[in-house]
Chains A and B, each alone.
Chain A
Amino acid sequence: MTFISIEFLLFFAIIVFTYYLIPHRLRWILLLAASYIFYAILSIQFIPLLLASTALTYFTGIIIEKQETKKQKKKVMLVGISVLLFFLGWFKYFNFVNDSLRAIAKYMNWNYTVPYQEIVLPLAISFYTFQAVGYLVDIYYGKQKAERHYGYFSIFFAFFPQLVAGPIERARKLLPQFKVEHSLNYENLNYGMKRIAWGFFKKTLIADRLAPIVSSVFDSPNPTGSQIVLATILFSVQLFADFSACSDIAIGCARMLGINLTENFKQPHFAVSISDFWSRWHITLSTWLRDYIFFPLCKGKKKRSEIYLAIVITFLVSGIWHGAAWTFVLWGLIHGFYRVFGDYTKHFREKVASFIQLDRSPVLHKWVKIAITFLLVCFSRVFFRSDSVTHAFENAQLFLTINSWRPSGIVKAFEIFPLLDLVIFVFFFIIVQLFQYIERKNASTWKWLAQRSIFARFAFYIFIIVSVLIFGVSGNGFVYGGF
Chain B
Amino acid sequence: MMRNIEKYRNAFINVLDLEEDDVCEDLELGVTSEWDSIGHMALISEIEDVFDVSLDSEWITEFNSYLSGMELLKRLGVDFINE
Contact = CB atoms under 8 A, between A and B. Distances in A.
Contacts of A302: 15, 42, 45-46
A298 B36 contact: no
A311 B39 CA distance: 13
Contact of A300 (B33, B38, B48, B57): B48
Contact of B42 (A292, A304, A311): A304
Interface residues of B, number: 17
A298 B33 contact: no
Interface in A287-324: 290-292, 295, 298-304, 307-308, 310-311
Interface of A: 141, 143, 275, 290-292, 295, 298-304, 307-308, 310-311, 343, 346-347, 350
Contact of A295 (B39, B42, B57): B57
Q: Is the interface of B mostly helix, strand, loop or mixed?
A: helix
Interface string B21-36: 0000000000001001
A298 B44 contact: yes
B33 A307 contact: no
Given A299-B45, A300-B49, A302-B45, A347 B58 contact: no
A166 to B, nearest CB: 19
Contacts of A143: 56, 58
Given A143-B56, A143-B58, A295-B60, A301 B45 contact: yes
Nearest to A301: B45
Contact of B38 (A299, A304, A350): A304
B42 A301 contact: yes
Given A141-B56, A311-B38, 9 more contacts: A299-B45, A299-B48, A300-B45, A301-B41, A302-B15, A302-B45, A303-B42, A304-B39, A346-B33
Contacts of B46: 302
Interface in B39-65: 39, 41-42, 44-46, 48-49, 56-58, 60
Contacts of A308: 38
A304 B42 CA distance: 7
8 contacts: A301-B41, A301-B45, A302-B15, A302-B42, A304-B39, A310-B41, A311-B38, A350-B33
